[in-house]
Amino acid sequence: MQNYANTLCINCWQVKRYIDLYSVTSAFGFPDEDLQLVSELYTKAQESWSSSIITANTFNNDASSNVLPILRNQINVYSHFLEKVAELARSKWTEFDLTFMGIGLGVLFISLFLHIVAIMKVHRLFKSPCSHINNSWTLSRVLIPLLLVGIRANSFLSNSYILEEGKVANFFLATTAIISTQNAIIKGKIAVEEISFLMLNIVLRYSFEPILSKQNNLINNDIDPSILAVIAYEAFPIISMLLLAYLFYKRAYSLPSCETPTTFMFGALLSYLLLALHWVSESRVIEVPSLVQYIGKTIAPRTIYSIGFVLVLFAFVQAFLSSRSTFNDRRILAAFLAMMCAWSPTIIMLLGRQGPMVAFISLFGVWCIIRLQNLEQNYVDVVYGRSVMDLTSITQWNLLAVSLFFYSGHWCMFDGLRYGAAFIGFDNFNFLRQGALLALDTFGISHILPIFGLPILFFYEYSGEKQASSSLFGSLTQAFLIYGFETAATTTFALVSVAIHRRHLMVWGLFAPKFVFDAVGLILTDFFIFLASLYYF
């Protein structure tokens, strides 16, 4: 007990010193009356300690029964001091309104319920009379995606899984690929799409460390890469950008059922060429004239921003001016191509030299998801449209977007924001302008492009018959609802985790930033789903 009392004495002195130093150095220190209370409690404890030592020294070892009450009293005094200081610190530093936290979580759970009601309502209204789906198909294409979404949402209760969120999302994406391959083996026919999708997940999985590790980045001055590596690092974005422009051009004009938006195609091609010029001007391998550097670093990015902004406005104006009677698959596909032409050059440029690689992986992943869905739909003999209850493709779409967010070098922490992207094309700071560019870089590949790109799930290869307008409307409506539901579900559990761990050691370093990113992401998801609905419908 004597040792315990001595330890408490040292601990109280440490706490008192910390409170004094914090009040002097912090801009938000304790009020004077609180400091006075702490000083009085500490003085009382020290006076009691001094008297306890004097009293204890008057007794010899045979009188331990007389010393024990004195030590117990001293321990109680020190414990009282520590409890009061802890209570004071909690009241000043961390104030949690559990009532409002409960109300907020209640609203989110109600919204999840309303999502489910709306999804089922749309399913009953627009269910295809030609579809005959057996129980095993329902288990595979409905329950398994819901199970994966639920497991991923619950993983946010662990700080370790939050740190590895990109790998977790990639793991679940690979799980859907493995299930698809298993089903193909059972059917006795494995398509190239299953193998391609598995290989894509392997590439994503083993690319996370070098992409996210600053030590493995070629830009890091601590690394001395070979000349071939530097040339490849410099040349790949330029060559791939030109190749992407060529493929985009050829693919768009090869779609017979599409009223190709020529204006948007021309704007996208011009932006891709300017983007290649921008990376040439930043090359460390070749000497670039100062005029070309100025054009590439300043004029080209600003021109790309302007083209993208004008194309987005023009796309919405064109959509609102079109007749409602033209709601069909050709108009939706043309609107999709126009929106991708408007957004993609700016987002790719903001992602930096890894942007083309992210774009190629995104396009390849989208191709695999669409092809796998078409193979599955052909297997169940759905003739008109797509089964609105097939959650697998939408879940894969969501998981791919999350994986690309982390693959492109982002993570859910404030130091994970790529602030340099906000200054591409600009040297001076403007809050609104740089804030908009930073938001595009952060949420472009994970929110904007996936949401506006959802309709492509329903337009890849046709059996020769066009989709009815009502079937198309029902499929797109439920696709947006399901995507919003999955995002809301993961965000809700992220909020549950931060509520449970509000006293956790990593609450401000990990759980709170994750809460902020998911909350902002959910708001943006709902906002862009609203815009996409207005645009396509």
Band (pLDDT 50/70/90 cuts) for residue 114 is very high
Residues 240 and 275 in one domain: yes
Residues 77 and 104 in one domain: no
Q: What is the per-residue pLDDT across 413-439, written as a single tens digit (0 to 9) for each?
A: 888 888 999 999 998 999 999 999 999
Domain final residue, candidates 75, 92, 109 = 92
Q: How far apart are the first and last CA of the chain?
A: 76
What separation in angstroms does the CA of 176 have from each of 144, 149, 183, 296, 410? 9, 11, 11, 42, 24
pTM of the model: 0.79
Q: Please say if the pLDDT value at position 51 is more than 70.
A: no
Residues 149 and 109 in one domain: yes
Structural domain tally of the chain? 2
Q: What is the per-residue pLDDT across 181-235, written as a single tens digit (0 to 9) for each?
A: 887 787 777 778 888 888 888 888 887 655 545 434 433 444 455 566 666 666 6
Q: What is the per-residue pLDDT across 279-334, written as a single tens digit (0 to 9) for each?
A: 888 777 777 788 888 898 999 999 999 999 999 999 998 888 876 556 677 788 88
Nearest to 399 by CA among 205, 168, 208: 168
Identify the DSSP state of 455: G
Distance between CA atoms of residues 442 and 429, nearest Å: 18
Show the 3-state SS of 191-219: CHHHHHHHHHHHHHHCCHHHHHCHHHCCC
Identify the DSSP state of 322: S
Residues 405 and 465 in one domain: yes
- What contacts 280, CB < 8 A, 6 or more positions away? 238, 286, 288, 292, 296
Question: How does DSSP assign 464-491, residue by residue?
Answer: S-PPPHHHHHHHHHHHHHHHHHHHHHHH
Query: In this predicted model, which residue has the larger pLDDT, 451 or 468?
Result: 451
Residues 84 and 157 in one domain: no
Residues 43 and 151 in one domain: no
Residues 82 and 103 in one domain: no
| pLDDT, the chain, mean | 80
Question: How does DSSP assign 388-452, residue by residue?
Answer: TT--HHHHHHHHHHHHHHHHTT--SSGGGS-GGGGGTT-SS--HHHHHHHHHHHHHIIIIIHHHH
The whole-number pLDDT of residue 528 equals 96
- What contacts 461, CB < 8 A, 6 or more positions away? 374
Tokens of 419: 């602030």
Range of the domain at 177: 98-216+225-536
What separation in angstroms does the CA of 115 have from each of 103, 107, 478, 479? 18, 12, 10, 12
Residues 38 and 107 in one domain: no
Residues 51 and 139 in one domain: no
Kind plus residue range of the DSSP H or E element containing 181: helix 165-187
Residues 212 and 345 in one domain: yes
